């Protein structure tokens, strides 16, 4: 079994915790409200804006033996730059105030998720960051494109309100192949354990982000 396959197997319970969030069931059923979608985008902004800073922090702390992984991080940075602005533009297309979101604060669950990953990079093992990548990209592939279509049909919003969800579903399909390759190149047991542990915790924390979102009546 490859390490990537082992990672999926070892995190299945935590992944199920995230996917069983009630808001996801509402989104899939087409009963989600505009208020819920805007709340989702708001929390997305507050973690997506940290993607590039987290990548840079991780890259700066990697040891010389993982120079090949630093090269991959440079590619990720090029891909991920500016995606938080996509989220803000989607919020504006929904009729909400994107500047209020930009200048506002995240829900505590989002703040804890982001802070946890910074802490894992700084105090434990920088490779931990890839546990978060596994959660966010894996969840995106499982949900993003399909849910975007259902929500758009329900709320009758324009295409420009879904640039984040629609693009990430297809983008992350490419990313996950890249991610699999990287994870299967890891040959240090401590690095692998750090990825698994971080993925388990981030699945729980991201699940709490989804559980913080308002449900439609």
What is residue 62's three-state secondary structure? Answer: coil
Domain ranges of the chain: 3-212
- Angle at which helix 129-155 crosses helix 22-29, to 10 degrees, equals 40
CATH 2.40.50.140 is held by the domain 3-212: no
The confidence score (pLDDT) of residue 206 equals: 98
The confidence score (pLDDT) of residue 171 equals: 57
The confidence score (pLDDT) of residue 155 equals: 93
The confidence score (pLDDT) of residue 140 equals: 78
CA distances from 11 to 52, 150, 209 (A): 25, 27, 18
- Spatial CA neighbour of 130 closest among 83, 85, 70: 70
The alpha-helical segments, DSSP class H, found in the chain are 3-10, 12-19, 22-29, 34-48, 51-61, 67-80, 83-93, 98-102, 108-123, 129-155, 163-185, 189-212
The confidence score (pLDDT) of residue 170 equals: 58
The confidence score (pLDDT) of residue 99 equals: 98
Q: What is the pLDDT along the chain (217 residues), one digit of tens a residue?
A: 999 999 999 999 999 999 999 999 999 999 999 999 999 999 999 999 999 999 999 999 999 999 999 999 998 898 888 899 999 999 999 999 999 999 999 999 999 999 999 999 999 999 999 999 999 988 877 777 788 889 999 999 999 999 998 876 555 566 788 899 999 999 999 999 999 999 999 999 999 999 999 998 7
């Amino acid at each position: 079994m490859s390490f990537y396959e082992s990672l999926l197997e070892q995190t299945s319970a935590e992944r199920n915790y995230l996917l069983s969030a009630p808001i996801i069931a509402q989104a899939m059923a087409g009963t989600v409200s505009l208020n819920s979608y805007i709340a989702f985008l708001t929390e997305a902004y507050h973690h997506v804006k940290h993607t590039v800073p987290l990548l840079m922090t991780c890259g700066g702390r990697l040891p010389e033996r993982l120079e090949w992984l630093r090269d991959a991080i440079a590619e990720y940075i090029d891909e991920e730059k500016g995606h938080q602005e996509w989220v803000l533009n989607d919020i504006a297309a929904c009729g909400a105030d994107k500047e209020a979101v930009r200048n506002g604060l995240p829900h505590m669950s989002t703040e804890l998720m982001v802070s946890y990953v910074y802490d894992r990079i700084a105090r434990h093992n920088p490779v931990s960051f890839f546990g978060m990548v596994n959660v966010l990209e894996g969840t995106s592939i499982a949900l993003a494109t399909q849910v975007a279509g259902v929500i758009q049909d329900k709320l009758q919003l324009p295409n420009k309100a879904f640039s984040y969800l629609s693009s990430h579903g297809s983008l992350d399909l490419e990313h996950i192949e890249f991610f699999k390759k990287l994870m299967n190149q890891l040959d240090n047991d401590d690095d692998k354990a750090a990825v698994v542990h971080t993925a388990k915790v981030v699945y729980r924390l991201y699940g709490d982000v989804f559980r913080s979102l308002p449900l439609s009546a």
